[in-house]
């Protein structure tokens, strides 16, 4: 399957202004402070949204899990509830 090509678009928005992605996703700047921005995302229920660092942590953990050794169930069985 070919890799999806992406490009980064850069916009400057003020508080209460928004962006529309595709036909169904709207991102609104709800509040701005010196150190952070509060962002609201309105999207159809089938679209999930995550903090990037959380997504990356899950991704890293899956990659590590795929390298796992076969579990020694004789050791683990002792600690598992029936």
Partner 1 sequence: MQVKTINFGILEIPENKVLTFREGLPGFPRIHRFAVIEMEELKPFQYLQSLDEPPISLFIINPLLIDPSYEFRLMDSDMEEVNSTNSAELAVYVVATIPKDPKFATLNFMAPIIINDKERCGKQVILHESKYSVKHPLLHSTGHDEVKGRKA
Sole binder of partner 1 in the list 6, 33, 36, 48 (CB under 8 A) = 48
Q: What contacts 24+ positions apart, CB below 8 Å, involve 41-46?
A: none
Cα–Cα distance measured from residue 39 to residue 78, given in angstroms and rounded to the nearest whole number = 47
Mask for 56-75, x = binds partner 1 (CB under 8 A)? -xxxxxxxxxx-xxxxxx-x
Q: Which is nearer to partner 1, 35 or 46 (CB)?
A: 46
Site for partner 1, rule CB under 8 A:
1, 45-48, 50, 54-55, 57-66, 68-73, 75-77, 79-81
């Amino acid at each position: 399957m070919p890799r999806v090509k992406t490009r980064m678009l850069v916009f400057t928005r003020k508080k209460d202004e928004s962006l529309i992605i595709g036909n169904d996703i709207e991102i609104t700047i709800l509040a701005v402070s010196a150190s952070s921005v509060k962002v609201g995302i309105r999207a159809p229920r089938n679209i999930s949204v995550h903090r990037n660092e959380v997504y990356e942590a899950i991704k890293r953990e899956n990659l590590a899990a795929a390298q796992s050794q076969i579990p020694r169930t004789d050791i683990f069985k002792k600690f598992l509830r029936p």
